[in-house]
Each structure stands twice: as structure tokens, then as C-alpha cells.
Amino acid sequence: MKKIFLLLVLSVSLASVKAQVTDNTLQHILVDKDSRIDSLLQKNRDMNEAVYLNTLKNMQGYRLQVITTNDRNKAIEVKTRLLTDFPGEKTYLIYHAPYFKIQMGNFREREDAEQLMDRVKQVYPTGVFIVPSRIELKPSKDGEIIL
């Protein structure tokens, strides 16, 4: 009996609820905004463009890892020798505790890295191998980055 009474009261109360009536009299909405919002949006666009262009300068590629040692002085010595023997190739001293790694080159294709590896193995016959890495792209003379 209580359930029937509760159901009856609930159905009567729900029947009296009206849906919201839409009012189409407001056709135009005016927004008063601060002029600094436009300058902030432009700064945001500029920052996003700078980040995008920076990501274009790096891509996945290959480098030669010449030596891995925990002696910093030896790593610097090897890097100096590589810079004198291969002046056209960029060398990198990377520290991953507790090791210093000397890597060189920025190659998109593994075959290009293999060509340099053959020349480097004449100076360092052991321990030279190709590693995948994020490489730096060189822009052309007019400033465009060629993919």
C-alpha cells in the first residue's frame, strides 16, 4: 500500500514539472573582452610555432658511438682526436652515469653511418658501432630544413 501511494505521489509530482521554455528573442550577444587577450593569443601562437620549428630540427636517426668509458679525460682526448681527424663531422660528449660516451655524426640512414664507420674503424678498430639517436638536421643555405 505504501509503495502504491509513493508511486502515485511521484507520478503526480513529475507530471507537474515543465520543461524549460526556449526564448529566441536574444539574437545577438555582445562580448566585451580585454584587448590584452588578443596579444596573449598571438604570443601563444608564436610560441607554438617556435616549438614546432624546433621539433623539425631534430628527428630520429643514427650516430656512431666511438667509445664508452668512465674516465672523463680519456673521453675528452678521444673527442679532440675525432675533431682533428674528421673535421666535417659533429662530435658529442654524452654523460650517462657513470659512463662518458663519445658519439659522432647525424645520419638519417643507417647506410650513411656505415660509410663513416668504415673510416672511423681505421683510427679506432674496436668498439665503434651504430646507435639510434635523435639527430640534428642541418638547415639549407636559405634557412629551410630539408626532410
Its pTM stands at 0.58
Q: What is the mean pLDDT of residues 79-88?
A: 92
- Banded pLDDT at 50 (limits 50, 70, 90): confident
- pLDDT for 20 equals 57
Sequence spans of domains, the chain = 60-136
- pLDDT for 145 equals 53
Closest CA to 65 of 115, 35, 100: 100
- Beta-bridge partner residues of 99: 96
- Give the percent of the chain with pLDDT over 70: 83
Look up the CATH number of domain 60-136: 3.30.70.1070
pLDDT score of 139 more than 90: no
- Banded pLDDT at 57 (limits 50, 70, 90): confident
